[in-house]
Amino acid sequence: MNERVKVVVTGAAGQIAYSLIPRLVDGKTFGNKKVDLCLVEIPQVVDKLEGLVMELEDSYFPHMGEVTYTDDFEKASLEADWFLLVGSIPRGIVYEGKKIEERSDLLKINGGIFVKQGEAIGKFGKKNAKVLVVGNPANTNALIGKNSANNDSQLWMAMTMLDSSRAKSVIAKKTNNDVSDVKHMIIWGNHSPTMYPDIENSIIGSQKGNAVIDDSKWIEDSFLPLVQQRGKAVIDARGASSATSAAKAALDTVIACENPTEQGDCFSAAIASDGSYGVPEGLICGYPLVTLEDGSVEIKRDVVLSDFAKAKFQVSIDELNSEREAVKHLLK
């Protein structure tokens, strides 16, 4: 176990992080590497992390390396390989005397956070660092962060793996399959209710999704709203947003980037558009991705979209464009 990986996690005292952090050091996510953790929180709650560090120490993780915590993101960033940016200010809280209800307010506040974090990652993170933004609005936070980092050798992603896993689960139930029988599940667009989960191009067993489920009414009236609104359904049922499933999705994204993708499959995350599939350049957009043998992550470019899919995808692209417009003052 000579190889080491340094992972920075923000929002480390939050719900998702409590499920996520122990599994980063369990010997599965990063294989046989020793994992150094740097946990980041805002000054008001950073001291709480002492308790989490105690629990980690008490858990017997042979793959756990050095564990530190701080409210100084620049310091945390130094020579880090992975950044899991979970922390953000949620909707519904009172921030500087105002209740944050609107997506535009959320974009403004979190945008400011991601400018600073992006600058630090670009300057102090490893040259080939990978960044996964979980905190919402994830795509546009990643857009701001990537822009501020100004370091093209680093990979910025926004998480759509949870949406992809949710879609696999719905399809598996509908077709009486195991979730592992559903592959090539693409989430196009924004991590928001406009996302387009692409059932037509999924693979169920050994067949294309549209051959197995030839029921456009069910897709339009049941499948799409179920996946797009699943986050809200969990909040309504649990009284809190998805945490353990979000943590699992973040781990799955890391694993998907750390290992070559199986032939014929792909995984879901949002990355900067290079114009592929007609998406305006630079937008952080949900795409089908593959990890190559050399560890690089690329957009899979041979997926064919139906007219129905193109129309749905366009709605999400339009939303990403309007979010970019709303934060343009934060983009250099």
Catalytic annotation, residues? 191
Task: Tell me the sheet residues that pair with 98.
Answer: 95
| Half-sphere exposure of residue 247: CA atoms within 13 angstroms, side-chain side | 18
- Which of 29, 88, 210, 268 binds ligand NAX (CB under 6 A)? It is 88
CB of 170 to ligand NAX, least distance (A): 16
| Binding flag, residue 191, ligand NAX (CB under 6 A) | yes
Q: Does 46 bind ligand NAX (CB under 6 A)?
A: no
C-alpha dihedral, 144 to 146 to 151 to 156, nearest 10°: 170
Choose the stretch contacting ligand NAX; rule: CB under 6 A; options: 84-92, 145-153, 283-291, 302-310: 84-92
Site for ligand NAX in 231-270 (CB under 6 A): 231, 241-243, 246
Cβ atoms within 10 Å, residue 274: 13
Helix runs in 209-306, H state only: 209-212, 216-218, 224-228, 230-238, 244-258
93-122 residues near ligand NAX, rule: CB under 6 A? 113
What is the 3 state secondary structure string of 51-90? HHHHHHHCCCCCCEEEEEEECCHHHHHCCCCEEEECCCCC
Considering the rule CB under 6 A, would residue 151 count as an interface residue with ligand NAX? Answer: no
Instruction: With CA atoms as reference, report the closest residue to 9 among 119, 86, 116, 88.
Output: 86
CB of 44 to ligand NAX, least distance (A): 7
Residue 117 or 261 with smaller CB distance to ligand NAX: 117
Q: Is 87 in the site for ligand NAX (CB under 6 A)?
A: yes
**DSSP designation for 11:** S
Q: Using CB under 6 A, which of the segments 85-93, 169-177, 197-205, 323-331 binds ligand NAX?
A: 85-93
- DSSP 8-state class, residue 2: -
d(CA 215, CA 149) in angstroms, rounded, equals: 45
Which among 20, 19, 161 is positioned nearest to 82, based on CA atoms? 20
Minimum separation from the CB atom of position 164 to ligand NAX (A): 10
Question: Does residue number 10 form part of the binding site for ligand NAX (CB under 6 A)?
Answer: yes
With CB under 6 A as the contact rule, the residue among 5, 8, 24, 162 that binds ligand NAX is 162
Q: Which is nearer to ligand NAX, 131 or 134 (CB)?
A: 134
Quick check: 76 and 126 in contact, CB under 8 A?
no
Residue pointed to by tokens 């805002």: 42
135 interacts with ligand NAX by CB under 6 A: yes
The least CB distance from residue 146 to ligand NAX, in Å, is: 16
Residues that bind ligand NAX (CB under 6 A): 10-11, 13-17, 40-42, 45, 86-90, 113, 134-136, 138, 159, 162, 191, 231, 241-243, 246
